[in-house]
Each structure stands twice: as C-alpha cells, then as structure tokens.
Amino acid sequence: MQTIRKKLSVLFLLCSVFTIIIITLFVNRTISNKFDEYVVEIQNKRHQDIVTHFSDVYSNEGTWTSISGTELIHEAYMGNYCLTLWDKDKNYIWGMNPEELDDRSHLKSMVVQDQGVFSTKTFEIKSEGVIVGYVDIGQYSSVLLTKEDINFKSSIIRSIIFSGMITLCISVGLSLVFSKHFSAPIKDVANMSVKLSRGDFDIKSIAQSNIVELEELRKSVNVLAEKLNHQDDLRKRLITDITHEVRTPLNVLQNNLEAMIDGVFPVTTERLNNLNEEVIRFGRLLNNLNSLKEFESEHIKQNVEIIFLDELLIDISKDFYTVAQAKNIQFNFQLIPDQQFTISGDKDKIKQLFINLLSNAFKFTKENGMVDVALYTDRENIIVEVKDSGIGIAKEHLPFIFERLYRTQESSGQVEGNGIGLTIVKNIVQIHGATIEVESEEGIGSVFTIVFKKNNHFFLH
Ligand code: ADP
C-alpha cells in the first residue's frame, strides 16, 4: 500500500520526465537536422565557389598551367578537402594527395564527422558556356564541419539538456508541492474518518482546499462529525433522561408503598389515586418510548386510507375543550368551508400528530391564553397551523426541539413531558411526505405549521 501523496508524486514525476525526455529529444533532433542542412548548404556553396574560381582563372589565362588555381591548395588543406584539376579531355593538370590530408591533421581546423572512405565529386568548369576542364573535390566525410560548427552544435545540445534538467528539477519540486496540496485535505479527512470510526466525534477538519470536490468532502465530513457528535450527546442524554424519568415515579411509588406497609401513611383512596397517576405517567413514558422505537425503525407499519383532515381535527379538538375550559384558554378552530381537505395517510398516526401538537399548545399556554387551529389550502398544499400564546421557545432551542428527549430548560422543571412528542410528530410528518415548521417567540407564543401535499399518496409505501 502506498500513500496518496507518494502515488501522486510518482505519477506527476513520471509524466514530467516522459514529457521532458520527448521534448528534449524532439528539439535536439530538429536542431541537429536543421544544422546539418545548413552545413550542407554551406558546403555546396563552397564547391560552387571553387568551380567559379577555376572558371575565372581559365578565363583570365586562356589555358591551364600546372599552377592554375594552386592558390586554393592552402585553403583546401585547411578545409580538409582535396582538389584535382583536369583539362577538358580529362588530362591531369595538378592535384593534391588525399594521404596528406591525414598527415597534416595537426593543422586541421575542420573536423571530420564520419571519418571513413575517401570519396570525390567531379564538377565541370565552364568558360563562356563551354566545358574547359573538370575539378575533383574529395573528402573523407560527406559533411565537413568546422570546430566552430561543432562547438556551436554541442553548445546548443548542452543547453537543451541543461534546460531539460532544470525543468526536471522544477517539476520534481512542483510535483511534491502539488501532491501535498491534493493529499493534505484527503489525508486530513481520512484521519478524521478513522477517528470517527473509533467513536471520537469531537473533531473537525481544518485543512481547507481550493479544489471544489475536496472542499465539499471536507465540509460534509465535518457536518457528519457534528451530527454524530450531536447524536452521541443525545444518546448519552437519552440514557440519563430515561433513567431519571423512570426512577422518579418508581421512587415515589416505592416510598409511598413502603410508608403504607409500615403504617406511616394510612391507605386512602386519594393516596392510591395519586400512586395510580404515577403508574399511568410511567406507562405513558414507556408507550412514548415504544412508539418512538417504532417510528425510528426502518419499516414502519402503515394503514393507508383517505383522511378528511377537517373531520379529524374537529374530532380531536373535542378532547381539548375540557382542558381549555379548565385553564380558561380561548380555543378557536378556523376552517375555510367548501374546500377539500383530503390526504392519504395513516389515520391513527395523523391523529397522534395533532394530539401531540395540541397537547403541547395547551401544556405550554398559561391560564387565560389562547390556542388557534387553522386549516386552509393553497394550490398544491393543505396547511394546518397550530398556534398558541404560550411561553414560546427561545431561538437557541428551536433547531433542537424535534430531537429525541429534547426539552427546553424552561419546560423541563415546570411542565410534565419527556421530549418525545415532537420527535414522533417529525417522524409522522416525514413518512407522509409533509413538512413542519415552527415560529416562536419567548413569552409571545408559537406557531407550528404542517404542510401536506395534496397528492401525498406518492410518498406513502
Ligand atoms: P414534551 O413532552 O417535553 O412536550 P416535545 O417533544 O413535545 O416534548 O417538546 C419538546 C420541547 O419543545 C418541550 O419540552 C418544550 O420545551 C418545547 N415545546 C414544544 N411545543 C411547545 C409549545 N407549543 N410552546 C412552547 N414550547 C414548546
């Protein structure tokens, strides 16, 4: 197994080396070819100059002598080529000895590229359009290069190789930097997931990246960590809260029963009723926990049917008139007539949803307050609003009130409850493809708005 950084560095490096080698070879070859073409051109021009020189010599002298054009000998030795002059009938006039080219190598300023077989080329010498002789130009190589030529060529090759090396060094550096740039956030997120898998949720990745996908990955793992952390807190609190909720009624029962057994308390109907209430409360908690478990399991049993929300709400509201009267709460039910309020759903669950919302509304509304239920539609939705003038919910609690066992500090001391009602509400809303929103202001009241889609049967399994 290799690290992502190593893998990326090797990949970058291989690509760079490959590219640099190809470019170097290509540039090198192109320059060499062009240079050779140039040298051949120069050589042809020199041959042409030699022929013209002999032609001029003949034109001036009118005939060939054994010294015609011998002034070229020195230059020919220096240039490492060999001249032989013939008249028009191919009779030998003068010529240089090819052997001497080698003997005089200490004087050479020409460098023979491919030291090999001596070969000659014959050129016609013309004067006024008539062939007056021939000159052989012989050399040991097809292309003759001067030392300057060679130096020039090799300095170019050296520069190409040098720039190749420099580029290679730069790309090694860049590949290290880039691979780190890519790998650092990935490594960070990978370390973070390892920690998350070990149950260490209190972590955050801070290695920001300007690569969109990596940044999204980093952010979503951060969100995941936050959620897991929150869930972990909830789980811990769930255990503490359940223990607390269970212990309280049990203690009350135990103490009272012991006192009655010991004869400290007389056994009266009132006492027994109080104890029974504790047992009922205890049973309610267990029921709530049980329904929560059912909602949070993957497969929720549903008996889907057509529900007339108006009828259902009127029915449920009846159960709350007594509480309303007892607390002198003004309870209004507004419904726009002649409209269809039908949805598909599980009637019992929808009933439980509104019972939970209304129970909260009445529970958290003090005497002489008001609770309003409104039912209306828009083009695509059926909307139910449950509004109260109760204690309200502080802004910092609002995002959490649908969490399991979440109760605000204000409510936990004074009002009976166990922080499960709204979690169940949220689950019921979700399985019906609806949404729930809450607006609340401390001391003023709260509004819970549930929006059902008119064609919500698509959402139901
Ligand atoms: P509980 O059994 O405590 O009522 P819920 O899940 O129904 O549990 O509600 C969670 C918390 O949200 C409550 O403890 C309370 O703090 C807050 N809450 C819910 N409904 C209202 C409301 N209508 N007015 C004020 N606070 C509310």
- Residue 110, pLDDT above cutoff 80: no
Q: Which tens digit of pLDDT belongs to each residue from 147-204?
A: 777 788 888 888 888 988 898 898 888 888 888 888 888 888 888 899 989 988 888 8
Q: Which tens digit of pLDDT belongs to each residue from 245-291?
A: 677 778 888 998 999 999 888 888 988 898 888 888 788 778 877 87
Cα of 116 vs centre of ligand 1, distance in Å, is: 104
What's residue 104's pLDDT? 46
Q: Can you give the residue ranges of every domain in the chain?
A: 4-158, 212-295, 304-460
How far is 195 from 197, CA to CA, in rounded Å?
5
Specify whether domain 212-295 bears CATH 1.10.287.130.
Answer: yes
What's residue 296's pLDDT? 66
Higher pLDDT, 231 or 258: 258
Q: How confident is the model at residue 329 (pLDDT cuts 50, 70, 90)?
A: very high
Read off φ and ψ for residue 238, nearest 5 degrees: -55, -45
Answer whether 419 contacts ligand 1 (Cβ < 6 A): yes
Which residue lies with its CA nearest to atom 12 of ligand 1? 401
What's residue 188's pLDDT? 86
What's residue 181's pLDDT? 81
Answer whether 446 contacts ligand 1 (Cβ < 6 A): yes
* CATH architecture of the region 4-158: 2-Layer Sandwich (3.30)
How far is 24 from 21, CA to CA, in rounded Å?
5
Answer whether 361 contacts ligand 1 (Cβ < 6 A): yes
Written as six digits, the tokens of 459 are 């959402």
Cα of 161 vs centre of ligand 1, distance in Å, is: 77
* Range among 111-115, 187-191, 294-298 rated most confident: 187-191
What's residue 112's pLDDT? 47
Which residue lies with its CA nearest to atom 2 of ligand 1? 417
Answer yes or no: pTM beyond 0.75.
Answer: no
Answer whether 134 contacts ligand 1 (Cβ < 6 A): no
Residue-level length of the chain: 461
Separation in Å, CA 330 to CA 84, 185, 357, 393: 132, 58, 16, 21
Q: Ligand 1 pocket test: pick from 356, 364, 373 the residue with the most ligand atoms within 8 Å of its Cβ.
A: 364
* CATH architecture of the region 304-460: 2-Layer Sandwich (3.30)
Answer whether 360 contacts ligand 1 (Cβ < 6 A): yes
The strand pairing partners of 83, in sequence order, are 137
Q: Ligand 1 pocket test: pick from 407, 436, 444 the residue with the most ligand atoms within 8 Å of its Cβ.
A: 407
Answer whether 404 contacts ligand 1 (Cβ < 6 A): no
Q: Which atom of ligand 1 is nearest to the CA of 390?
A: 24
Cα of 422 vs centre of ligand 1, distance in Å, is: 7
- Reference 128, options 48, 62, 82, 201; nearest CA is 62
Cα of 425 vs centre of ligand 1, distance in Å, is: 11
How far is 86 from 125, CA to CA, in rounded Å?
9
C-alpha torsion 145→151→155→158, nearest 10: 80
Answer whether 43 contacts ligand 1 (Cβ < 6 A): no
Summary mean pLDDT of the chain: 85
How far is 331 from 101, CA to CA, in rounded Å?
125
Nearest-5° Cα angle at 172, 166 to 173: 95
Q: Which atom of ligand 1 is nearest to the CA of 386?
A: 23
